[in-house]
Structure 1
Amino acid sequence: MPILKLISRAVCVCWLLALGVLQLSAAEKTTNRYNVLFIAIDDLRPELGCYGVDAAQSPHLDALAKRAVVFDRHYVAVATCGASRYALLTGRSPAQSGVTRNNAAAYSGSSALALEQQPGAQTLPELFRRSGYRTVCIGKISHTPDGRVYAYNGKGDGHHELPNAWDELPTPFGPWKRGWGTFFAYANGIHREDGGGHKDLMQFTAENDEDLPDGMMATTAIERLRKFQSSQEPFFLGLGFFKPHLPFVAPKQDWEAFENAEIPLPQQGKIDSPYWHNSGEFYKYDAPYRKTHPLSPEAQRMARRAYYACVRYADRQVGRVLDELKKLGLDKNTIVVVWGDHGWHLGEQEVWAKHTPFERANRSVLMIHIPGTTHTGKTTSALAETIDLYP
């Protein structure tokens, strides 16, 4: 029963990540330890070729899927960024933590993590750090875009959002100068929170990948991989890409790639539900079309095309990092996890957002590659939850 064994191994990868690490550390083994490259992609629903979406252009993630286990029924704890990531990193369900909406959950209120080191690890990266791994966070792994606590306007003391978890927080800021500036970035150093009134829903003017934050973060990740290859330190590298989160911003080539593509319209209309909402974040941006409820078919195709363009951009950055991992020979002993923090409605139920209890908002991407696995390129319909990764 090879497929059952494969599913069992993939579903229980948390034990390989956690208990296996502790056992190796206790035995003082320094060789043959798995590294971990954990890639989080913000607002990425299963809108990829490897999930059967023909309209998507995701060749690099599709290639990874051919040597990974792809979870077709992976669900997050909560369909909002901060709460979903809190559940991932602490292994605590919302029923245990009470965290369902609070994006500041890791550092405020009753759910706040202790600043002082506790007898046991409070978070997944802290567990690896205690076990002798070099832990590095680039981009958005917890809720903040660089691992430091600041308000959107830049105010705050910048303390670590996850205490005692990371050895390094080398997220590059470029011309945007600070974390939330990079998260809400447009080309040429402007961003939504700079006081300039910039709030375009979409922008596709950048010429190069590194003209935007996700490209810069991929380059920083590549630099860190080269250092790890030289030092031979075991590592846990968290790499959190921002796109396709709003605003929809990517290089010009990614918009142009869909010039002649057939963009399907959403099939599910508005439903009568107390959980329906009016997509406030999406509609507050300035759009290149008339903002009606519902959107016209032309506007829906344009918005969906913008999302696909951002996915294409993020996919290419994943490819750059994975290509370097292989070039350095680190792919032979590095577990690769790709995780979406939740799904996103692309007009289904007339919603353009997350923050619902519906399938589109709660089902997200999860694929896991373990070196040396003989059964690769499998898709499982076994039910998986985000908290399975760190129970």
Structure 2
Amino acid sequence: MVVTESGGGLCIGGFKASGARKGKYGLALIVADKVCRTAAVFTRNKIKASPVLLDMGKLGNGFQVIAANSGNANACVKEGMVDAERMCHLAAEETGVRVENVAVASTGIIGRPMDLDLIEELIKEAAGTLSSSPDGSSKAAKAIMTTDTMVKELSVEYKGIRVGGIAKGAGMISPDMATMLCFISTNADLGRNELQSALAEAVDESFNMLVIDGDMSTNDMVLLLSNSSKKCSLADFKHALKYFTREMARMMALDGEGATKYLEVEVKGAKSREAARRGARAIASSSLVKTALYGENPNWGRITAALGSITDFLFEETDIIFESSKGRAVVLEKGEAGDLKKAREVLGGKEIKVTVDLNMGDSGATAYGCDLTPEYVEINAGYS
């Protein structure tokens, strides 16, 4: 049995959502029919935004409501925690849920005070249009977009297990998550510890292997809420959840700021999983690799240089392959250069897969990213 994609995003049954926007601010509101078992993964940045700190302290309560704003990060400001708590109270008042079961999230400019009057207005508007339809999920997804150019939402089903969600993220994306938010709903009836272990594992193989620009945000979070309505095995849930998070990571890479090409890097034949992870991330993170991708330049030396900066490998045993809709090209085979003319043709595709086989062991890992373009510089030079 395979995982099937279905419509609805967050609204998989037992969840409602909506969103509202005004100017640069947006507000997504997600409400479950009951308090949910909750799992979460937060940024590892030493500087954490106030909503992250607040949610970390309340996680054990279980969440029923998520209120997430775009346009302001609520990070590195004097009244940040006061504003985050006020946002919780506003969402609790509008939804009739206890404040201890409300999570908040923010994304946007760092270092500016929140406009709580506008946040209150948007919460009221979103609360008045909550819906269990796919439209409700889409409104929520659109409300948290900043430099995103595409809505990121998905729902999947596997053996009756449903996993749905929305996300945002297009820049400040590096291993250990990103300026990214992801809110996930599920019906899986599992204990909180099981949900947490499954989420941590899924995030480690997807969002933590995602690189747009190498910058780590203060605001990252992934929240998973389960209404526990479907008995299932942990293994089956992990299978569905990993599919979901991989696809969401892929959407973020496809929508990287200014990106013209999607990059998937698979390192295999490594001595250990960690060596493969380090190698894949190093290649996907390399500015020289990313600019070569933009220029459709099959300079495989940049790949080996990135790899050698982070892990041991034998150049004379290594194979490198490029693949896209334009075909397949072996650019390095056991240390011998391949067909670069064909490689340049392959790089003309929009979605590029680079496979590096170290031929040293049985471990592998995959990282996700995109090219680096002049438009990326333009977007971030003017982002304020």
Fold match, TM over 0.5? no
Q: For CA contacts below 8 A with separation 6 or more, give which structure has more relative contact order.
A: 1
Between Structure 1 and Structure 2, whose CA radius of gyration is higher?
A: 2
Structure 2 length-normalised TM: 0.25
Structure with more strand by fraction: 2
Structure 1 length-normalised TM: 0.24
